[in-house]
Chain A
Amino acid sequence: MSPDPHIPHIPSGERFTVARGTLLLDRLMTLVIKFGGWLVMLAVFAIFAFIFVQILPLFGKPSVKAVGQVAVPVEDVVVMGVDEWGELPFFLSRSGELHFADLPRDLTTRTYGRVGAQDSMKLEIGPRGLFAVDTDLPEKTWTAFYYDAYTGEIALGSADGRIALLKINYRTEFLEDRSRRVVVAVESELLPPLSVSEAPIREIAFYDSSTNRSIAFLQEVDGQTKVTLQTYTVRSSLFGAATLVADKQINLDTAITDEKPERLLIGGRGDRILVTTEGGWLYYLSLRGDQLERVQKLRPFAEKSDPSIFSIDWLLGKQSLILTSESGANVTLASYLDADAGQILYTRIKDFSQLEGGGATDFSAAQRNRGFLLANEGQLSLRYSTTGEIRWEVTTDYQPKNIALGPRWDSIFAYDTDERLHVYALDDPHPNAGWKAFFGKIWYEGKSAPEFEWQSSSGTSDFEPKLSIVNLFFGSIKGTLYAMLFAMPIAVLAAIYVSQYLRPEAKRYIKPAMEIMASLPSVVLGFLAALWLAPLIEDRVPSVLLMLITIPLSAALLGYFWGRLPQTIRNFIRPGSEWLVIIPVILVVGYIAWQLGPTLEALVFRVYDPDIGAKVGNFRQWWVETTGGSFEQRNSLVVGLMMGFAVIPIIFTISEDALTNVPPYLTSASLALGASRWQTTWRVILPTASPGIFSATIIGFGRAVGETMILLMATGNTPIMEWNIFNGMRTLAANIAVELPEAPQFSTLYRTLFLGAMALFLLTFFLNTVAEITRQHLREKYKTI
């Protein structure tokens, strides 16, 4: 036989070899695909790692580094303070002399602590040396001092009962060679005699707001301690500087304090004074009219062995008091609005660990956060009030006498009894962060109990940031659950109907329609929710409730009666076209329910209207009065409906696929045994498709958790923790969007937003893992041959 003419003769060796190109391409593609796979995993891991690196510093300890020490020979220093840059500390001596020490530049800037490039730098007095500035105050023996580092004001009380005010104004000059120099200007004023007594002033307190000043002081008169509060109004003329005009003088009746007063502070708006006594009591007195009234008397260290109050000082914002006892116990007291008393009271909100070696001999409050520095004879302790943490503590080999925290929370100055100044560089960018701040209940100042709270910023600089991630987590879960509550039954039931009952012709239209629904941008949905749906259902909640009940009920009832009809009548509707009957019924019932809403409201949700003097139907008010919760226009119901709408397509599509993929032989087996279509669906198809439906639900859940725009626009973004369906929430995702513009790079808020991102990441990771494990388990249980 001749060989087939169509097949050219190729030697068999060649016929069976594979072309080099084919092999090469095969290997190349294998490599590319492998590489791509690894790259994806790497990318996910890199995102995780990046976020992790961003949040890590939040949980770090501060680093404090001793820069050095230098002799500053000033006699009998009573007040030490420092400028913004830590370059020109002042030293006020008991005689009223004011000295400044010129220190090298950049000693304590943050880069120092990190880079350490200036390790070789020696702390020494700079070219301007140690110089004194004339205060213009008459020579007196000063006996009492009060320094407010935030305003730079010092109040002095003299041995002859006179009071002077001193203000140190630091200013930064930039020279021609672009270098920086801190210069200082001092203002002073000797106040006119207060005509109380010429006895020495033992303690003094000063309060400064833009419109008024208050001074309170203690004097020993005839063996009795007198407390005086003098208020001033600030009158600023059109041309000149402001002048102080004496307003009222209140002499405290010592009967208000049954004990001997020891120390005092002014708070509130200059109308509260807090007096401590020898027995360890704290009296809170309030100025009402021309009288000081005793509002509260408490003993902060009551349960301690030595209840005496050794020191009392204001924290930034003058809402919290830091107290120490003689043995070194340390607590924070803060004011809050007491609901029962109907007024402001003080209560103990934090308990710090003991300051070893006794109570604080000096105190310095941070000027940008809730930190403070305590010193006693052999100890420096840097503490943070919000978290109740000790940031840093050191036992010194000198005796610190005066201390000051750098205004930028970057340096610590301690002046010892041997007239030496010790300087530390402080690197603590996130003092208010930590596990407790993010995940714990914290008793914030101004609150009546410990709570979870998120409020990252405010209009004032002395505000205490509240950074509880728990609220945002709660918000995410709340929004998601309400959305799932609405979406899941609809999506799964629709998937069952479409896969098991609907005629295939109709199915061809349903799936693309669902895809369009899925591709609607969520910003459009959010916009609709906020501007159309929210106002629409605001006044029609009873209608919506009625619809949510009557529509499923009418469909179920219709199904029930349909089953009771004789087969001959049912034959008019072909199997799979039952929707022709159901949809008109649902539309009619829905319309009737919508229209009946106001009637229901008038009948059931009745509240008393004082304007009319009768009971009227008003759901909003009824809800507020009945549940005690609030009613917001943009609430969880709106979110549930709209986000539910957004997640329906994804749950539907995956569930429908899972249901359709149930092998038809199982359906046949069930039907051949005489099961109805519903029995087949319920007993055979649903269990078999359950892994798919379960993953559909979890994927829908994940989609809702990560959803941002709808929540951002359709909720009030209030980080509250209530399940109330008629108020809003703030979710982790929306929070990132809301706060991003307010978070400077590497700030605590910036990193906290990353922490929120990490929480989202972990939440979805956790959900997916649980979903996958459960799905595998279900799949094993309901696997088919």
Chain B
Amino acid sequence: MSQETTTTSQKEDFEPFIQIKDDYNFWYGSAQVLFDLNLNIPKKQVTAFIGPSGCGKSTLLRSINRMNDLIEGIVHKGDITIGGQSIYDPALEVISLRKRIGMVFQKYNPFPKSIYENIVFSLRIAGRNRRSELDEVVERSLRGAALWDEVKDRLHESALSMSGGQMQRLCIARAIANSPEVLLMDEPCSALDPIATGKVEELIHELKKEYTIVIVTHNMQQAARVSDRTAFFYLGKLIEYDITDTIFMNPKNDQTEAYVSGRFG
């Protein structure tokens, strides 16, 4: 059973920001998808979740901002804390939790509104409608998403008139508009062409100066390129979690080795 134990590097030389702890388990109805997870995610770094399809990495990601709550019949055991606060605290409003956590989805999903309105959405729902503030946020977010120069002249055109890569960067800009602490990215480049993917990857490098980023990816080169730490999941279990270079160059676990070298996946 040695294969099923989690392999992590012995010393964690960082202060954890997101902690998945107390043997986190997760069920969709009667089907268990996550098993006994314990994982510390460092602040202002990029952590990649990799693993074959159905390994539970997306489920874990969506557990962090409780997006899984929308699904009927979910059950969990264990706990997740962000900055020391449990996300399952009964006194905590899910809404305020999600305001702390930006999320970028697999498929770009801009609202059928203008570019401008897409970005200021999170401010408007908070009742912040002051024009000067909104303008400032739009510029800052678009610059942060490296999109400002491309769209500054057509901010009030429909977001749907943009290219796919631009739309995904708009979704990133939208996610960071409210200055969240954490940015969750669920395979953000899977619907993009290589050039657009390159731009988003560059962007992730920039963004980690400000945000704690967790990215789920199928693409191991991508994980290797963008992340500081990598967690490898298999069948709902955390197999190995370490510094990215270690995972790719010198994996301690045979399954990890087999996966990163492309023998299964």
- Contact residues of A with B, CB < 8 Å? 503-504, 566-568, 571, 663, 665-676, 679, 683-684, 687-688, 781-785
Q: Known: A673-B98, A673-B121, A688-B112. Is A568-B91 also a contact (CB below 8 A)?
A: yes
Distance in angstroms between the alpha carbons of A674 and B95 in the assembled complex: 5
Q: How large is the interface on B (under 10, 10 to 19, 20 to 34, 35 or more residues)?
A: 20 to 34
For the complex with contacts A666-B112, A669-B109, A674-B125, 8 further pairs of A-B residues with Cβ separation under 8 Å are A568-B90, A665-B107, A670-B121, A671-B67, A672-B67, A672-B102, A674-B122, A675-B122
| B67 lies within 8 A of A668 (CB) | yes
**Cβ of B105 under 8 Å from chain A:** yes
Partner of A668, one of B101, B109, B121, B124: B109
| A665 lies within 8 A of B90 (CB) | no
In chain B, positions 74-110 with a C-beta closer than 8 Å to chain A are 90-93, 95-96, 98-99, 101-103, 105, 107-110
**Cβ of B174 under 8 Å from chain A:** yes
| B105 lies within 8 A of A665 (CB) | yes
**Cβ of B192 under 8 Å from chain A:** no
Distance in angstroms between the alpha carbons of A667 and B70 in the assembled complex: 10
Nearest 3 Cβ contacts at the A-B interface: A674-B99, A672-B103, A665-B109
25 sampled A-B residue pairs with Cβ under 8 A: A503-B72, A567-B91, A567-B93, A663-B109, A666-B111, A667-B70, A668-B70, A669-B111, A669-B171, A670-B111, A670-B121, A672-B98, A672-B105, A673-B98, A673-B174, A673-B175, A673-B178, A674-B122, A674-B125, A675-B121, A675-B122, A675-B125, A683-B121, A683-B125, A687-B112
**Cβ of B45 under 8 Å from chain A:** no
- Contact residues of B with A, CB < 8 Å? 65, 67, 70, 72, 90-93, 95-96, 98-99, 101-103, 105, 107-113, 121-122, 124-126, 160, 167, 171, 174-175, 178
Distance in angstroms between the alpha carbons of A411 and B213 in the assembled complex: 98
| B111 lies within 8 A of A684 (CB) | yes
CB distance from A233 to the nearest CB of B (A): 86
Distance in angstroms between the alpha carbons of A250 and B101 in the assembled complex: 105
Distance in angstroms between the alpha carbons of A675 and B103 in the assembled complex: 13
- For B160, list chain A residues within 8 Å (CB): 783-785
- For A668, list chain B residues within 8 Å (CB): 67, 70, 105, 109
- For B126, list chain A residues within 8 Å (CB): 674
CB distance from A758 to the nearest CB of B (A): 40
| B98 lies within 8 A of A674 (CB) | yes
Distance in angstroms between the alpha carbons of A666 and B95 in the assembled complex: 16
Distance in angstroms between the alpha carbons of A515 and B160 in the assembled complex: 37
Which of A673, A687, A688, A785 is the most central at the interface, judged by chain B CB atoms within 10 Å of its CB?
A: A673
- For A675, list chain B residues within 8 Å (CB): 95, 121-122, 125
| A674 lies within 8 A of B96 (CB) | yes
| A683 lies within 8 A of B95 (CB) | no
- For B99, list chain A residues within 8 Å (CB): 673-674
Distance in angstroms between the alpha carbons of A503 and B103 in the assembled complex: 26
A503 to chain B: closest residue by CB: B72
CB distance from B60 to the nearest CB of A (A): 16
- For B110, list chain A residues within 8 Å (CB): 669, 785
Q: Known: A665-B105, A674-B98. Is A571-B112 also a contact (CB below 8 A)?
A: no
Which of B91, B109, B160, B171 is the most central at the interface, judged by chain A CB atoms within 10 Å of its CB?
A: B109
Distance in angstroms between the alpha carbons of A784 and B159 in the assembled complex: 10
| B98 lies within 8 A of A671 (CB) | yes
- For A674, list chain B residues within 8 Å (CB): 95-96, 98-99, 122, 125-126, 178
Distance in angstroms between the alpha carbons of A784 and B91 in the assembled complex: 36
Distance in angstroms between the alpha carbons of A666 and B171 in the assembled complex: 11
Q: Known: A571-B90, A668-B67, A668-B70. Is A673-B112 also a contact (CB below 8 A)?
A: no
Distance in angstroms between the alpha carbons of A673 and B102 in the assembled complex: 6
A674 to chain B: closest residue by CB: B99
Distance in angstroms between the alpha carbons of A676 and B127 in the assembled complex: 12
Distance in angstroms between the alpha carbons of A782 and B113 in the assembled complex: 7
- For B96, list chain A residues within 8 Å (CB): 674
- For A672, list chain B residues within 8 Å (CB): 65, 67, 98, 101-103, 105, 175
Distance in angstroms between the alpha carbons of A669 and B108 in the assembled complex: 9
| A673 lies within 8 A of B124 (CB) | no
- For A671, list chain B residues within 8 Å (CB): 67, 70, 98
Distance in angstroms between the alpha carbons of A784 and B109 in the assembled complex: 9
- For B95, list chain A residues within 8 Å (CB): 674-676
- For B90, list chain A residues within 8 Å (CB): 567-568, 571
| B125 lies within 8 A of A669 (CB) | no
Distance in angstroms between the alpha carbons of A782 and B171 in the assembled complex: 17
